[in-house]
Structure 1
Amino acid sequence: MTKHKIFTMSVAKVYPHYITKAEKKNRTKAEVDEIIRWLTGYSQEELDAQLENGTDFETFFAQAPEMNPSRNLITGVICGVRVEEIEEPTMKEIRYLDKLVDELAKGKPMEKILRKTV
C-alpha cells in the first residue's frame, strides 16, 4: 500500500498555511508554535531546525522528542473524519495538529486547546 501524500510532504510547506489560518483570526505565529511544541515536545530551536531542514511529516512525528500524552483528549471532526476514529498513527498525529490549529483559529483559549486541567 502506498503512503499518503501528506506523509512525505515537508512540514515547512504546510506550516505557513497554519500561520495564515491563525493570523486571519487575530492569533499569532507564537501560538501556533506553542501548539506544535505542546503536541510534539520539540523546543523552539528544534522546531525551527525541522522546518529549516524540510523534514517530512512522517519523520517529523517519528523523531518528536515526546508526543504529549494528553493528545488523546483531542476529539472532533477534521476534514470530515472523526479524529478519534483514525487508525493510522501518523495520520492521527497530523490530524491532531490540524484540529489544534483549527481550534486556535476558532478563538478557543490556549488553556483549552492545550487540554490544561484547571
Structure 2
Amino acid sequence: MQVTPEHNEKIAKITFASVYPHYIAKIEKKGRTKEELLQVIKWLTDYNESQLLEFIENKTTLREFFENATLNPNAELITGVICGYRIENIDNPITRQIRYLDKLVDELAKGKSMDKILRNQSK
C-alpha cells in the first residue's frame, strides 16, 4: 500500500490519549501487562510514565509526541508490515515512527519475548 500525504496528516493529528487505552486493552487481552507496554514505549521514545500521563492530559498529537521523543537508535531495526504498510518503506518520518510503536505493541500482544521486542537491547 502507498502512504499518501493525506494519510500521514490524518494519523499525525491523532492524540496519544486516544490510542493509549487501545494499546493497553490490546496487550492486556493477550495476557501482557501495562508495565511491559511502558517498558516498550520507554525503549522506543525515552518517555517515562509521568511524561506519558502529561501527554494524555494535554491531548498531545502523535506528531508532537514523536517530534519531541528521543528515538532509540535501534528503532530502525523495527521492520515488517503493520496496518497494511511495510514500515521500512514509509518515507514520512513521523508516520514511520508511529508505525514503529504500533508494531512493538503488536509484537507484545503476540507474545514475543521482551528481548526480541527491544531488539536485544534490554540487558
TM-score normalised to structure 1 length? 0.92
In the alignment, the residues of structure 1 paired with residue 56 and residue 35 of structure 2 have an alpha-carbon distance, to the nearest angstrom, of: 15
Distance 1:67 1:92 in 2: 12
Q: How does 1:16-95 map to 2 (within 5 A)?
A: 16-64=21-69, 66-95=70-99
Runs of 4+ in 1 over 4 A off after TM superposition: none
Q: Structure 2: which amino acid aligns with 1:21? A: K
**What is the CA-CA distance between 1:85 and the residue it aligns to?**
0.6
Q: State the alpha-carbon separation in 2 of the partners of residues 109 and 25 from structure 1.
A: 13
86-95 or 50-59: which moved more?
50-59
Given that residues 16 and 62 in structure 2 are in contact (C-alpha distance below 8 angstroms), is that contact kept between their aligned partners in structure 1?
A: yes
After superposition, give the CA deviation of every residue in 1:67-114 in whole Å (9 maximum; x if it has no partner): 100000001110111111110000000000000000000000111101
> Matched residues in 1 for 2:90 and 2:76: separation?
12
Aligned counterpart in structure 2 of residue 10 of structure 1, from 3, 11, 15: 15
In 2, Cα distance between equivalents of 1:16 and 1:69: 26
Which 10-residue stretch deviates more, 3-12 or 66-75? 3-12
Tell me the C-alpha RMSD between the 2 structures.
1.4
| Structure 2 gaps, min length 5 | none
Matching residue of 2:108? 104
Shift of the alpha carbon at 1:46? Answer: 1.4
* TM-score using structure 2 length: 0.89
Distance 2:21 2:52 in 1: 14
Identity of aligned residues (%): 54
74-83 vs 46-55, which moves further = 46-55
